[in-house]
Structure 1
Amino acid sequence: LRLGFDLAARHPRPRAVAHLDAAARAGLIDLPRLGSWALASHDDDVVAVREAIARADPRAESLPESQVRVILQDAGFDVVVQYVVHGPRGRIIRADLALPELRIAILYDGAWHALRSQLEHDRRQARLLREAGWVGVHITAEVLASPRQVVAVVQTAVDARQAS
């Protein structure tokens, strides 16, 4: 339990939640148990820890993906985690995050997305998304470095969808 508390207490909210997501996904912490423990705690930073626990979601598959989720939630976006997009021929992609009502898939592209094999896969998925009427928004480490830029990139896609 102390591990989870320390992970959440020592980082700004997006990173705190990301660490809790990863620890819960790996089975290192039990979020409900940690939440109960935090409710009884009077340690410094307990309010921030409780907020991070409430936002944790072990379905997230990477630290950056979790950070993007928290940044977007903080900006008021109601994102869905690990959303499966279907097209006329079946499943197209499992988006890291999505705004399904607007048909926007949000994908974190780590460094491995620059590999030729992954780049070809990403291009194929982007084409399938477009054919199914979805828009793919790609967030990179460079974009993630600025939470405002993360929000701006997604807001631009939202504005474009709402205008059409």
Structure 2
Amino acid sequence: MRMRRPELPEVFVGRDAVREGVLTASDLRGPRVRRLYRGVYCPTGVRVSHELRCRAAALTGEGALVLTGRSAAVVRGVELASASDPVEVIALPGCRVNRRPGLNVRRVAIDAGDHEPWETISIARPERMAFDVLSTGPLIRAVADGDRVLRAKLTTETRMASYLEGRHDHGIVRAREALALCDPRAESPPESELRVRMHFADLHPEPQLHIYADGEFVARVDFAFEEERLVVEYDGEWHGRRSALARDRVRQNALRKAGWQIHFVTKEMMVNPNAVIDEIYGAVLRARSARPRHL
């Protein structure tokens, strides 16, 4: 009777698997496994996620690493990076770390109290993690990712403001700018982007406003210009559910009956964000001119 091979873990060091007799050296070059980093593998059938890549990075033998930024956010439950994104790490001071494809190694100062043990390396604590999110990448993405970190309650605006106070790290100015624009009420990255673009166009609606009419709840809207009684809604992708579309039509009718105008922004429209902002600005002016003037 042929013996069944032991099952492989989701991520493993190749030389360990060979030493333990689970695989042969030739198996490491065959179809049964997939190499994630030099010397670190996963079974071919395993779905490769960013979190799996983070765990693989911890097995590279580079124990002087701190997982941080968007990679640390993924491990903490907020999906800010995809499987194809490099794993973000900081090399601890005084430690030599070999650069590897798929591993984004930064050599910056990090306080001992800013990280804690994770797997065989360390992971940045939430405030340090959020700092590295806010201080890297394009500003709009930094704000959108910061919104998601705050919405997940990994940290708070107050704790972040306190953490950033008095610091002089590289990127601190960007981090403070991004934090000032963050809002945990945002329900999606496109909403965050739209809010930031409106802010820079000097348009400041109230996000996630609850609208009432005659004491009765009507709807919660993405953005509301209260004085103009104009709602701006980001219209995400429908998933073929007629019931959802029907509910939305009832909601729209209720808003209009309560005296509110509605302006929609779609994913396709955001390909040209400048045009979107121009249209919103025009809608605000039209709504403002349509409001009755009190003598």
Give TM-score scaled by structure 2 length. Answer: 0.52
Structure 2 residue 194 is matched with structure 1 residue 77: no
Greater gyration radius: 2
Distance 1:112 1:28, change over 3 A: farther
Give the corresponding residue for 1:108: 234
Deviating more after overlay: 7-16 vs 133-142 = 7-16
CA deviation after TM superposition for structure 1 residue 113, in Å = 6.5
Q: 2: CA distance between counterparts of 1:125 and 1:42?
A: 49
One-letter code aligned to 1:142: E
Structure 2 residue 130 is matched with structure 1 residue 4: yes
Where do 4+ consecutive residues of structure 1 move more than 6 Å? none
One-letter code aligned to 2:190: P
Deviating more after overlay: 35-44 vs 14-23 = 35-44
Corresponding residue pairs, total: 164
Q: 2: CA distance between counterparts of 1:49 and 1:126?
A: 38
Residue deviations 1:20-52 (CA, integer Å, cap 9, x gap): 111111011232222222233222221111011
Report the 3-state secondary structure (helix = DSSP H, G, I; strand = E; otherwise coil) of the residue aligned with 2:281: helix
Q: 1: CA distance between counterparts of 2:275 and 2:206?
A: 20
Residue deviations 1:105-141 (CA, integer Å, cap 9, x gap): 1111111376322221221111111111101111211
Name which of 16, 19, 27 aligns with 2:142: 16
CA deviation after TM superposition for structure 1 residue 61, in Å = 1.7
Q: 1: CA distance between counterparts of 2:230 and 2:259?
A: 9
Report the 3-state secondary structure (helix = DSSP H, G, I; strand = E; otherwise coil) of the residue aligned with 2:268: helix
Structure 2 residue 262 is matched with structure 1 residue 136: yes
Give the corresponding residue for 1:160: 286
1:113, 1:119 within 8 Å by CA — same for their partners in 2? no
Q: 1: CA distance between counterparts of 2:214 and 2:282?
A: 27
Q: 2: CA distance between counterparts of 1:156 and 1:98?
A: 15
Report the 3-state secondary structure (helix = DSSP H, G, I; strand = E; otherwise coil) of the residue aligned with 1:102: coil
Report the 3-state secondary structure (helix = DSSP H, G, I; strand = E; otherwise coil) of the residue aligned with 1:136: strand
Of structures 1 and 2, the one scoring higher in RCO (CA 8 A, sep 6+) is 1
Identical positions, percent: 37
Distance 1:130 1:55, change over 3 A: same
Q: 2: CA distance between counterparts of 1:87 and 1:46?
A: 44
For structure 1, the residue ranges without an aligned partner over 5 or more in a row are none
For structure 2, the residue ranges without an aligned partner over 5 or more in a row are 1-126, 291-295
Give the corresponding residue for 2:33: none
- CA RMSD after TM alignment: 1.8
Q: 2: CA distance between counterparts of 1:93 and 1:115?
A: 20
Name which of 100, 123, 138 aligns with 2:249: 123
Name which of 45, 49, 66 aligns with 2:171: 45
Distance 1:152 1:118, change over 3 A: farther
